[in-house]
Structure 1
Amino acid sequence: MSEHARPRAIPRILLIEDDADIIYLIRFMLERQGYTVDPRTDGRDALDALPGCVPDLILSDVMLPYIDGLELVRRFREQPGWEHLPMVMLTARANETDIVRAFDAGADDYIVKPFQPDELLARVKRFLRRAPA
Structure 2
Amino acid sequence: MVSSGMKPDVKAYRVVFVNEYCKIRKPSEAVLLLWEMMVRGVKPSMSSFNAVFRVLVDEGKLDKGVLLLKQMPKMGCPPNFLFYCIVICGLCKVKGRMQQVEELISNMLQNGHNLDATMYNCLLAGYCEDGDEEMTPKTVMT
Which TM class, normalised by the smaller chain length? 0.3 to 0.5
Structure with a larger share of its residues in strand: 1
Greater Cα radius of gyration, structure 1 or 2: 2
TM-score normalised to structure 2 length: 0.35
Higher relative contact order (CA closer than 8 Å, sequence separation 6+): 1
Structure with a larger share of its residues in helix: 2
TM-score normalised to structure 1 length: 0.36
